[in-house]
Structure 1
Amino acid sequence: MSPPVAVSSGKAQSSAKAENAAPTLSEMQEAFQRAVISGDDAVLNEILDNSRTDRNVLFGVYRHAYAARLVEVIRNDHPFLSSYLGDDVFNEIARAYIEACPSRNQNARWFSHRLPDFIAETHPNEPHLAELATLERALNDAFDAPDAEPLALSDLAAVPPELWADLIFEPHSSAQRLVFTTNAHALWLSLKKEETPPQVETHPAPENIIVWRHETTPKLRRMSGEEAMMWNETVNGVPFGSLCELVAIYDDPDSAPLRAAQHLQGWIISGLLAKAQTEE
């Protein structure tokens, strides 16, 4: 009689085969991505050393290249911040940002979008840095904003005088008002002109900056306190008659309608408004 032979069950064989099976291409790609982005080293088990160095060094090339590419993405979005800080400090901040805010979008255009908030959190004693980053981001956003036909003075010519008080104006999609506590705007201007930046200053009162796109070019300028107040209320849907009343409270009531009209005319000429309609 032949001795009994131990035979593994089909289920056990399948389990052992599954454990030893090579990862699929999709699994390798996912493992590679996790290793590059989040530091998961599991993929190293699938990489062989070569005759000159080991797998850690080999894979480190990819990790370094990925981070270096993202640093350049951030630098392209914030060239004046980079110029102001210098390469060493900028690279340090950029790499810290990459570590804290890993990329979640396949479009690199949006990767640095949280940088101003990150700098505000990590450098609370240097608010000018976050504000400079905010200004550059706003200009980038203005360039990428959806197209919208700007309101023209001729569009208002047909509006009957009795309806003007009820007009509500819609801002252009690219328009964004910024409020700064430092002279970040002056820093940006000097860097743009390739001049030596001024000393950092804190404003006694907030500085209002409006950023928008005129045709295909991002623009920015300062707003007076009165104009900024009127713009803010305009964005909130306050009709023109009420805007005039607010301007009258802000300063000389006798000239308030004229000042409100001048602000409105300037916005229309600059392309800051997209639509005008009466209250429903």
Structure 2
Amino acid sequence: MPANIISVPREGQSAEKTRTAAPSLSEMQDAFQRAVMLGDDAVLNEILDNSRTDRNVLFGVYRHAYVARLIEVVRNDHPLLSAYLGDTAFQDLAKAYVQAHPSRNQNARWFSHGFPDFIADVRPSEPHVADLAELERALNDAFDAPDQETVKMSDLAAVPPESWADLIFEAHPSTHILSFSTNAHALWLALKNTETPPPVETRSEAENIIVWRHETTPKVRRMPYEEAMMWKEAASGVPFGGLCELVAVYDDPESAPMRAAQYLHGWIASGLLGKGLLEE
């Protein structure tokens, strides 16, 4: 609480009357919070000017610091988007987000979670910007996701061959499947490698990107269309026999079991599957 925020007798008031009218500490704290977060100026009535400046300037320091801190939170969560847009453009966008979305959570980690959706609303003609923000959000979420033991090849080896068709696989809690209409993944890769980003492209068919945490490191890669289709169905509970049938419809039916097995092997090797092998 600022040292300048006190209640003193007004001209013509008695000290006793002032004590009666003085707000409580909790009331002052609420007024201070409303002033910082919502722009409510009622608290200014309880702040004294000093010999060098007035109360508006004094309290403005707190308002500026609050906004600046939240902008920094957004920047820390989206460093590559910040590098892509440049400091000024990113700051303007983040400031608009702060003003439109006052913090509702004591944990700053979640403050910027709505940033990609906000960008999609305010910059609909630049979907690659929202896609970049969504990719960085997914990486942050993957890092913070709960721990869970992953499936190993030895787990599959213990399953009788006649039971394979009934196996249901569980996605690791850190996984996120994203579908982008732009080349946001290529932009992200270039920025991550401090290379010049390629020109923005719009995809005729959405590009599927899988994000997850392998051990302690967030990972990201593009998923071919067939694999992404199989992943989405597997994550929704379709057993392995059904997955093979779907893959057979997608492409050459004779090699479908082999393709499905190769995708499954890659998921296990990458740590994409949680320890949840079940039978239908």
Both proteins in one fold, TM over 0.5: yes
Once residues 70 and 133 of structure 1 are traced to their aligned partners in structure 2, the CA distance between those partners, rounded to angstroms, is 16
Equivalence for 1:123: 123
Equivalence for 2:35: 35
Equivalence for 1:270: 270
TM-score by length of 1: 0.93
Question: Identity of counterpart residues, as a percentage?
Answer: 73
Alignment of 1:227-266 (within 5 A): 227-266=227-266
The amino acid that maps onto 1:244 is: C
Equivalence for 1:96: 96
In the TM superposition, residue 18 of structure 1 has moved relative to its aligned partner by: 9.3
Structure 1 unpaired stretches of 5+: 1-15
Equivalence for 1:53: 53
The amino acid that maps onto 2:185 is: H
The answer to whether the aligner puts 1:155 opposite 2:155 as a matched pair is yes
In the TM superposition, residue 17 of structure 1 has moved relative to its aligned partner by: 5.7
Partner SS for 1:208: strand
Equivalence for 1:167: 167
Partner SS for 1:106: coil
CA deviation string 1:97-123 (max 9, x = no partner) = 001111000000000000000000000
Aligned residues: 264
Equivalence for 2:138: 138
Once residues 44 and 20 of structure 2 are traced to their aligned partners in structure 1, the CA distance between those partners, rounded to angstroms, is 16
The amino acid that maps onto 1:59 is: F
Partner SS for 1:63: helix
Equivalence for 2:64: 64
In the TM superposition, residue 24 of structure 1 has moved relative to its aligned partner by: 1.3
Once residues 123 and 189 of structure 1 are traced to their aligned partners in structure 2, the CA distance between those partners, rounded to angstroms, is 22
Partner SS for 2:199: coil
Once residues 169 and 17 of structure 1 are traced to their aligned partners in structure 2, the CA distance between those partners, rounded to angstroms, is 71
CA deviation string 1:166-203 (max 9, x = no partner) = 00000000001000000100110010111111110111
Runs of 4+ more than 6 Å apart:
none
Once residues 112 and 277 of structure 1 are traced to their aligned partners in structure 2, the CA distance between those partners, rounded to angstroms, is 36
In the TM superposition, residue 20 of structure 1 has moved relative to its aligned partner by: 4.1
CA deviation string 1:75-102 (max 9, x = no partner) = 0000000000011110110010001111
Once residues 87 and 94 of structure 2 are traced to their aligned partners in structure 1, the CA distance between those partners, rounded to angstroms, is 10
CA deviation string 1:202-252 (max 9, x = no partner) = 112110000000000000000000000000000110000000000000000
TM-score by length of 2: 0.93
Once residues 17 and 160 of structure 1 are traced to their aligned partners in structure 2, the CA distance between those partners, rounded to angstroms, is 85
Equivalence for 1:84: 84
Once residues 59 and 18 of structure 1 are traced to their aligned partners in structure 2, the CA distance between those partners, rounded to angstroms, is 22
In the TM superposition, residue 21 of structure 1 has moved relative to its aligned partner by: 2.3
Once residues 153 and 176 of structure 2 are traced to their aligned partners in structure 1, the CA distance between those partners, rounded to angstroms, is 21
State the superposition RMSD in angstroms: 1.2
Query: Which structure has the greater CA radius of gyration?
Result: 1
